Chains A and B, each alone.
Chain A
């Protein structure tokens, strides 16, 4: 009943993503990390090959991948560079509310033209005073005839200000708390949307994160997802769906760090022998490898649950949290194995360590994942 054998298509897709990471992403990753820019030519190439909008159904111009296969791709791309894989994958988060709650008309109208071109989308939930505490959002949507008028400020938004399509969470009635939160589809060219501050990040630097300011942004009422007050539910369902993929990216970062550490430990000679001949190093590598493998198992299990339509909230939170913690500890260990060289930007592992940190923070901090897990355990 349990099988880890990939299908022929999954093998071919993994090979495609792996060679794309090796030939296209890795050679430029350090440069774009330094420049803190999205490599647009990579976005264009990835789009042409079908490495973007991967879980959007084929009928709406996506690739129609199941979540296990999406995880395979996400791991390979993040192996190349977490920031670039994030730039390519952020559409997955931003479009998920439409996939979950969109009507066939909304999907046809918004997903199809969006997916036809190399474009970026953004998911606008977080605000300066509402991070983990989503219920505190204060961006408002006020009904005006056939329109809603959105006002407010979102922060830390991946692709913020440069996206062609936004999914925006705003409250129609602050006094209603969670029950006031409503989700909207907002085209990027709607008047009143502007980019605020572009963030300077520790890692994940080839992706673009900025504030998005909404000033009297008029959105037709047809752009509401489900109905007024359903936004919180949609946001939670979205995160349930995308967290395992954050986990998959974490596995990619960790696996890269492990492989770099193995290679280096065989080459580096101290005390007359390669450092990998010391048991101290061997035990570190053994622990790192075990973490990578176990993290992938949890990620694939969560993705399998998603594909089966089974409840994923608890296992998905575990997969994201565990894989992110693994990425953090494995990259720290890789820097250690590289010694002084590991601390230098000429070697790849310090970037991996900087990149890994974000995995414990975005799409719900690891503390929030533990809250989700515990809530499931105690329910």
Chain B
């Protein structure tokens, strides 16, 4: 079985977000990691490979540090990696990313495409869906259990108040939700072997793309940080009176009840 995983490099969950002079998100000195939902996707791909045999390819579009997360996936056990660089692209959106990934995927063989259901940075949860749409593939979102048998994927997903089990023919796009699995650590041996595994570097031009095709359709006009949390208020007095005062403040000042 041939599986392609689409991990994205994101800010560390503990990164402190700041804006630069131009009002853009400051990437300077920020620790970058593999998007945690994509780690679930990589792990699931490896488990499926261990069960059914096959090959896992990791593909990512982005800047010069992207090979770090691809190497992490290779160290975990993926077989090969492709990095599509973002050289020459000033601005991108989900359309850009999905167009590029889908174009590359047309040249790859796959039975299954796995991704995280969303990236923790922009949180748009669009890329995997758009890729499925462009490639005309069935798609199941936010999966917490996945079984593959006889050319079909049976996937469980959480829905309001319960679970839904769906079946789709392969090839399909599946996105991972927390709970799908517990990602493994790359082993020391895996880390050493990763450097011998193939990592291909492509440009957008190599894919025959450019210009309007990859121009973003959505543009961010402004970024701003949440206003700093103001000092908390401590209500003193007898519990009953304090509770009454709290309710009054919630109603009249905070206007939340």
Contact = CB atoms under 8 A, between A and B. Distances in A.
A13 B193 CA distance: 12
Main SS at interface, chain A = helix
Interface string B191-213: 11011000000000000000000
A50 interface: yes
Interface string B167-197: 0000000000000000001111101101100
Nearest to B33: A15
Interface stretch (A4-12, A82-90, A270-278, A302-310): A4-12
19 contacts: A9-B191, A9-B195, A11-B68, A12-B72, A12-B75, A12-B194, A13-B191, A16-B186, A19-B185, A20-B185, A48-B187, A49-B185, A49-B187, A50-B188, A50-B189, A54-B188, A63-B188, A63-B189, A65-B188
B176 to A, nearest CB: 19
Contacts of B194: 9, 12
A51 B194 CA distance: 17
A147 to B, nearest CB: 38
A13 B100 CA distance: 32
A12 B195 CA distance: 11
Range, interface on chain B: 10 to 19
A45 B93 CA distance: 41
Interface residues of A, number: 17
Nearest to B188: A50
Contacts of A11: 68
Nearest to A51: B188
Contact of A49 (B71, B188, B195): B188
B188 A16 contact: yes
B195 A16 contact: no
A13 B188 contact: yes
A12 B187 contact: no
A262 to B, nearest CB: 14
A13 B185 CA distance: 10
Contacts of B75: 12
A-B pairs with lowest CB-CB distance, top 7: A50-B188, A12-B191, A63-B188, A49-B187, A50-B187, A49-B185, A50-B189
Most buried by B among A50, A63, A65: A50
Contacts of B68: 8, 11
A12 B189 CA distance: 11
Nearest to A19: B185
A96 to B, nearest CB: 19
A257 to B, nearest CB: 20
A197 to B, nearest CB: 36
A8 B192 CA distance: 10
Interface in A3-55: 8-9, 11-13, 15-16, 19-20, 48-51, 54
Contacts of B188: 13, 16, 49-51, 54, 63, 65
A177 to B, nearest CB: 42
Given A12-B72, A12-B75, A49-B185, 18 more contacts: A8-B68, A8-B71, A9-B191, A9-B192, A9-B195, A12-B186, A12-B191, A15-B72, A16-B187, A16-B188, A19-B185, A49-B188, A50-B187, A50-B188, A54-B188, A63-B188, A63-B192, A64-B192
Most buried by B among A12, A63, A64: A12
